[in-house]
Chain A
Amino acid sequence: MKPARLTTHGILFGIGMTYVALLILLPIAVLAIRTAQLAPTDIWQILTASDTLAAFKVSFGQAFLASIFNTVTGVPVAYVLARYRFPGRKFLELWIDLPFALPTAVAGIAICGLYSESGWLGSLLAPLGIKIAYTTKGIFVALVFVGLPFVIRTVQPIVENLDLAEEEAAACLGASRFYTFRRVILPALMPAIVTGFSMAFARGLGEYGSVIFIAGNIPGESEILPLRIVHALESYDYATATILATTMLTISFAILIAINLLQRKHALKH
């Protein structure tokens, strides 16, 4: 390309990239510098403090459980939406994206109201001795809500594009429908399922708005990692906030890279 042609494109690209660098890279660089300035012994002490360990356990544990739940329930829903035609399908399609579109504070208050002891579901569960609001179960329920569309929306297009000939071949060779699903369909969906799971998990780890309404937020018990950072900031404990932020950012990066590699590997196969 001649330099003269490049100018407008180049300028636009330069402006865009400067904006991205100032808005996203600069703050991350500052966080990295602040982390590097901390003494390794302090870092170790902060990461192994009992409240921090408890927050790690709550966040990772509940995000993992919620993503597993969303994967197990999401795959059949994605299959139904992709393969079957039935009345009300468009209606379902519309509602599935609601957790992406609803502000997290609304999700939080909605779930809290639903599962509190006077709520529609909470009042049914209370006589059975099941308490959800203000416990770690509340965190699970909130994370299920915000993560629900990920697996469905990554798996559904893959089901739509599956080659029916492979399934016909399996059936002609005498495979049962279940066997075909397990040995032909499921392996083809696996990369999308793992991607959807990872996205839901990453979202669950970082989620704040919807969780704090229902979690009870007791340090060492039902305090998630992002809330641990907020509590550290409120007590001007910048060292703890810095290290936890760096840890969370590193995990976000790692998941993002893993998803990218997975997609690239899968794209190369086809």
Chain B
Amino acid sequence: MDKNRSPLKVALHGMDERSYKMMAMYLQGPCRGAAVVVSEQNAECDIFDGDSVNGQKFLTEYLQKESHRPIIVLSLNDQKLENVLPVKKPVKTDDMLMVLAKAKELLSANTKQTMSQTVPLASRSATPTTDIAENIIQPLEDGQKLKIFINTDEQKKTSKHQAAMQLNEKGFSAFIGSVSGIDVNNPKQFDKAHYNPREYFQGYVDSAFKVSRAKGQVRQLNSGWSPLIIFPQSDEVWLDVDESQLRAFSGLVINNTLGSKMSITPLSLEVSSMDRALERFYSMDAFLWKVACWASKGRYPITIDINQPVYLKQWPNFTRLLVTPHAMRIAALLIQSPRTLSNVAEVLNLKPQYVFVFISAACSLGLVGQTRRVADVLVQPSEIKSNKNQGLLSRILSVLRGKKA
């Protein structure tokens, strides 16, 4: 593009205020000298947003008027209209400059052809110029947004939708607990640092969830304690106890004492539809995750072979789960490649209890897999590649972790 030539005078159509300003600045910036935005009456070329409701409407009207001006249409989709110069979004500067040059050539050719006819552009019935004020009161969306009827009860389920609690090392023992008679952080005692989820409330909750989901029925887990009501359709549970009580109960081995009292019963529609305290609803996953943490107390589940690498199938939904110390680091590492639990602790320089409790929780939701190949053990990566901006990233992290709401 010869920047010394006079810029093409363009009018913008079908754009809201933000888009209009951005386009004007874009033409002043990356496309400087190639085009300038003017009023519709003074324009030599028209640019339409082909994806907005207004843009489509104006374009349709405009095409019916046999304008002699070049028309440029910006769109996410391929435009196959006749006499239209398409530019696909996201707009690339090279594409835009090329189309503007082409528009100028067309304008020049059209001018020569119509010299004798002298049809003044301004005299034709004017298409409405893009009016910023008008666009502000027009819908910005193009109809993609669904009509949503807000369920206010759902929004009152504060426990279900609450933000995650992020535990640090200092709060770990007090909140998660510990096991006497064993040092879970001593590699020589790793073989004993496991627990069996089936002996704890976790195992019964897990079974009840599976039955309830398989049957698609509201079920009640009776335990001789407070009943747990499971709503598989909405993926939530209801339990009318304080968190401290649940924590204490979850940490008990109950299969020998309450095991015989455990039962899962279907609930009638009448009973399941009863009004309940909304703040006592929890997401099924968040509930089971937390119960698993309390059962684990820093141990790993017996289903995991401590000598075989594990991997993470997907990231846990951490914003709605209890975030145990270093859980995000562990997740980020295990999503990359399989490692043994001890290797994770070693590479990240962590106490193994933090790895064990995370694995326990992730296992409860079925997020952990374990490789059984000898090769995976042999080729287990020992180190991780540091990011070139590690110092910066650490500073951002420290600010974020200090910025809890």
Q: Do A and B bind each other?
A: no
CB within 8 Å of A: which residues of B? none
